[in-house]
Amino acid sequence: MQGYVLPRAEHGISREDISDNALKVLYRLNNAGYQSYLVGGCVRDLMLGLKPKDFDVATNATPEQIKSLFRNCRLIGRRFRLAHIVFGREVIEVATFRGHHAEGEDDDGALLGKQDAHGQLVRDNVFGTIEEDAERRDFTFNAMYYNVADFTVTDFANGRDAIAKGEVALIGDPQNRYREDPVRMLRAARFAAKLNMRINPATAAPIPELAHLLANIPPARLFEETLKMFLSGKGVDTFRMLREYDLLTPLFPMLSDAIKDESSRECQFLIKVLENTDIRINSNQRVTPAFLYAALLWYPLEEHTNKLKAESGLSDHDAFNIASGEVLHRQIQRIMIPKRFSTVIRDIWLLQQRLPRRFGRRAYQTLSHPKFRAGYDFLLMRGQVEGGDTLELADWWTQFQYAEPGLQKTMLTNLRQTEGASKPPRRRRRKPKQAKGAE
């Protein structure tokens, strides 16, 4: 693969737009006699006039040689060894040029490359030249290399043409590339949404047929990928792209039927949540994956709760608790959800049961719950989609939480008069009479 070299005047990338820490890594590698380049998404984004989220470096130095140059370096990865050079909160990822994968062992007995029965690469410790590394990149616009030594960009796969056309295009045969790593299908959708591009027809064609291969990806890796897709500030566009190519079903099997129609209650709720998430991210506000996953699994939870009640005669409370555990268990078979998030998911769900119960001290107790705000926001978005009693309940809580204590008391009194009167009074249990002569 031959590269086209763009001089400084043709690409417009300035060192002022590059992280100081990335420049330190590039200069130190170069001064030690190694080749080093910025590569991948950071070069693509710089050429698009965007601010890269992170900076990746490719070099001909091996991971061990990289580690010997940087005291703040740690080596990670089994499928392919990488060096992470840590500068406080910023991590510069440095990868050795990859070569064409070949099964076997190196001179030290370490496994080089290995594929499974589906063609997926499960081990890939094969090093090569910059030309081979470019061929191994996934998309054409990710095979551009910026050289700080002479300020040139070498474009190996005509990535600048893909940028000009607004196309996401794979390098090589799409069938083979997706089989090597099925996550590339998710990345194609994510890049198209993020960059306001379309997926090249040849790149898009095999996706529906091969989407099932995502079931072979480790759940922990899919959790990281879903965060990149939905917490990028382009969550709604990504969701629609995933729906278009039938990529949501292998990720969230329980949503399969519910999201076929975008006008469905389930789809509208998820779009509402993702719209809110996009606004928060683009305003530099905090978001938590727990809220997103609580939304993605809410209607499957509701459906499963009703099924348990109908089949087993369980109470609302028991059916809901059992369904919560079972729905989460089913989902983590596909996408791992760390406990620190699954605990918050349960809190948000349980608050949907508590928020309608407002008599006596319950309203004040619910208001003081540590996750009240998340539970209330969740209810509010449900109300905006479902309307009816859910919206009325959300409006009541909107007023109650900001009301003065006197007004809160009046609201609770009015609530008891309007809703409580229709409920039969509780019968007090009588204490059993003591037998005569008992002490």
Q: At what angle do helices 265-282 and 372-386 cross, to 10 degrees?
A: 130
Four-CA torsion 362, 368, 373, 377, nearest 10 degrees: 10
Reply yes or no on whether 278 is catalytic: no
Which residues have C-beta within 8 Å of that of residue 289, sequence separation ≥ 6? 227, 231, 337, 341
Residue 115 token pair = 């594929």
Residue 280 token pair = 């928060």
Whole-angstrom Cα distance, residue 264 to residue 243? Answer: 13
Give the bridge partners for 38, in sequence order.
Answer: 57, 146
Which of 231, 351, 186, 374 lies closest to 291 in space, CA to CA? 374
- Catalytic pick among 45, 133, 138, 155: 138
What is the separation of C-alpha 174 from the centre of its chain, rounded to a whole number of angstroms? 24
Reply yes or no on whether 56 is catalytic: yes
- Catalytic pick among 45, 56, 133, 155: 56
Reply yes or no on whether 181 is catalytic: no
Whole-angstrom Cα distance, residue 209 to residue 195? Answer: 25
Whether the Cβ atoms of residue 86 and residue 61 lie closer than 8 Å to each other: no
Q: H or E stretch including 59?
A: strand 56-59
Q: H or E stretch including 126?
A: none
Whole-angstrom Cα distance, residue 336 to residue 225? Answer: 11
Residues designated catalytic: 54, 56, 138
